[in-house]
């Protein structure tokens, strides 16, 4: 059993029986689910929208090479610079080089899961560069020295009381139960950071091939501020975020916001097509887009599994997943948690160390039913399981157990050889640390069907 699997099992058990944690998550996810249900009423044919989105994303992923080159050509025409990064190390090296050229001492960063994926904050801090999260949820978990709990809502696991106590400890303000006062405190502290930072860093919700731009969607305006005041803007984007045309946003922006937060569309929606032009009054002097692979082409090379790259990071699958709601986001110890994280992490970060995530599922299919781009998530979990077995990444004891089971099931003589008492002894040993910890142990019948059949037939 790998170290990561052992830790996962320990953390899962602790969180599943943490009643305070479960209460907070059920309350917060319950609010989102109610909002999403109301938001869906705006759609006359939601299923048709999902089918359209699925078709567009699938066609795009199947022709990704063409669209990436088209994006680069159009983006560079307006003075933008494209950097291709095969992995996190290459991306961080390029980011470090830009920071050195700009003599950057501080960076403002909008919410971006891909920067979490490459551990950018830690890299910059080691190089003496202050990195400030400007999304309120991200700012809260940064203060708490934690990783984001949820793709859309990083601080979902914290109550208003938890946040107040954190602000008192870290920022020295009096305890308060006024949410507006807490937001105002964060806003006041962050305002000066925008104007003093040399570099702004964002991700991107979508890459737009036909106009050579990136699309950002947000509710707080922090991404706009992070890309307006600093003289340099770096957007770090996974290559799978591609859309063929700016006109596709009329489908994808509402689908993303409604599936994630229940809004018809988020408050701030921005398209950036390069650095500030001569006729423009604001914006960065330089803009870089780092196109990151980091294992995505591993998925692209698998025709049966590449549909996972269709994901638009709405978080809907997390909100309906019974496993996620019980063990929480931090238990996964990965950038992307929940069903979609369990599907893509083994391909992005290694199957051997992360295969257990694909087994941490009830396969109920709730995730598949809510996915706005109709990714067949529960089937992809099964395909990951199959791949791990095909690659021989199975525990030795498990291999041995199945070997004996196969031999026994193929031979009636062997199956009848051991009496029920011996079978039950073996079953007790096999189940003691797994099934029997929380359930009544499985037991063999006193007589097999074969024995009863022969007795009845004489």
Same domain, yes or no: 98 and 216:
yes
Residue numbers in the chain where pLDDT is lower than 70: 1
Q: Is the Cα torsion angle 174, 179, 181, 182 positive or negative in sign?
A: positive
Domain boundary among 245, 275, 294: 294
Same domain, yes or no: 47 and 186:
yes
Q: How far apart are CA 89 and CA 86, in angstroms?
A: 8
Residue 451, pLDDT score: 84
Full-model pTM? 0.91
pLDDT digits (tens, 9 = 90+) for 165-216: 999 999 999 999 899 999 999 999 999 999 999 999 999 999 999 999 999 9
Inside any domain, residue 7:
no
Residue 389, pLDDT score: 92
Inside any domain, residue 335:
no
HSE toward the beta carbon, residue 178, CA cutoff 13 A: 8
pLDDT digits (tens, 9 = 90+) for 316-350: 999 999 999 999 999 999 999 999 999 999 999 99
Residue 264, pLDDT score: 94
Domain boundary among 227, 262, 294: 294
Inside any domain, residue 326:
no
Give the SS3 label for residue 107. Answer: strand
Domain that holds residue 280: 43-294
Q: How far apart are CA 49 and CA 103, in angstroms?
A: 47
Phi, psi dihedrals of residue 132, rounded to the nearest 5°: -115, 120
Closest CA to 343 of 283, 386, 383: 383
Q: How far apart are CA 357 and CA 420, in angstroms?
A: 35
Q: Which residues, in sequence order, are CB contacts of 199 under 8 Å at separation 6+?
A: 98, 99, 102, 104, 106, 107, 108, 230, 231, 232, 233, 234
Q: Which tokens go with 60?
A: 């795009």
How many domains does the chain contain in total?
2
Inside any domain, residue 340:
no
Domain boundary among 273, 294, 315: 294
Phi, psi dihedrals of residue 270, rounded to the nearest 5°: -130, 140
Inside any domain, residue 353:
no
Inside any domain, residue 32:
no
Q: What beta strand segments (E) does 2-145 contain? A: 81-85, 106-109, 130-133
The CATH number given to whatever domain includes residue 287 is 3.40.50.10420
Inside any domain, residue 168:
yes
Same domain, yes or no: 150 and 266:
yes
Inside any domain, residue 264:
yes
What is the rounded end-to-end Cα distance, in angstroms, of the chain? Answer: 48
Same domain, yes or no: 99 and 225:
yes
> Widest CA span of the chain, in angstroms?
98
Q: How far apart are CA 387 and CA 400, in angstroms?
A: 19
């Amino acid at each position: 059993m790998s170290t990561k699997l052992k830790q996962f099992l320990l953390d899962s058990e602790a969180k599943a029986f943490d009643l305070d944690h479960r209460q907070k998550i059920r309350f917060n996810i319950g609010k989102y689910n109610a909002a999403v249900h109301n938001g869906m009423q705006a759609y006359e044919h939601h299923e048709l929208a999902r089918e359209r989105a699925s078709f567009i994303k699938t066609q795009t992923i199947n022709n990704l090479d063409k669209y990436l080159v088209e994006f680069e050509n159009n983006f560079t025409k307006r003075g933008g610079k494209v950097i291709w990064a095969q992995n996190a190390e290459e991306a961080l090296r390029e980011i470090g080089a830009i920071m050195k050229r700009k003599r950057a001492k501080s960076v403002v960063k909008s919410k971006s899961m891909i920067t979490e994926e490459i551990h950018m904050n830690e890299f910059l801090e080691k190089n003496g560069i202050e990195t400030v999260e400007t999304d309120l949820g991200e700012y809260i978990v940064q203060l708490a020295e934690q990783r984001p709990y949820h793709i859309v809502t990083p601080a979902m696991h914290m109550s208003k009381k938890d946040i107040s106590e954190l602000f008192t400890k870290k920022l020295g303000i009096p305890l308060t139960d006024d949410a507006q006062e807490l937001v105002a405190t964060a806003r006041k502290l962050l305002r000066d950071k925008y104007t003093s930072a040399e570099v702004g860093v964002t991700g991107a919700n979508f890459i737009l091939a036909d106009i050579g731009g990136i699309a950002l969607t947000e509710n707080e305006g922090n991404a706009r501020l992070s890309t307006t005041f600093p003289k340099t803007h770096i957007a770090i984007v996974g290559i799978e975020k591609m859309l063929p045309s700016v006109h596709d946003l009329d489908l994808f922006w509402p689908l993303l916001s409604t599936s994630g937060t229940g809004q018809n569309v988020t408050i701030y929606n921005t398209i950036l097509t390069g650095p500030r032009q001569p006729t423009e009054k604001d914006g960065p002097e330089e803009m870089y887009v780092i196109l990151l692979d980091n294992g995505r082409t591993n998925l692209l090379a698998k025709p049966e599994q590449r549909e996972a790259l269709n994901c638009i990071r709405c978080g809907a699958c997390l909100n309906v997943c019974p496993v996620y709601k019980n063990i929480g986001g931090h238990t996964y110890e990965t950038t992307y948690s929940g069903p979609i994280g369990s599907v893509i992490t083994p391909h992005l970060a290694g199957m051997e160390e992360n295969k257990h995530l694909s087994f941490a599922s009830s396969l109920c299919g709730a995730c598949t039913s809510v996915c706005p781009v109709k990714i067949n998530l529960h089937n992809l979990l099964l395909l990951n399981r199959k791949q791990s077995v095909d690659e021989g990444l199975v525990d030795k004891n498990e291999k041995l157990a199945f070997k004996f089971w196969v031999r026994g099931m193929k031979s009636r003589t062997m199956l009848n050889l051991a009496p029920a008492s011996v079978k039950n002894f073996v079953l007790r040993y096999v189940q003691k640390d797994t099934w029997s910890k929380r359930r009544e142990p499985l037991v063999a019948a006193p007589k097999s069907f074969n024995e009863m059949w022969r007795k009845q037939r004489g």
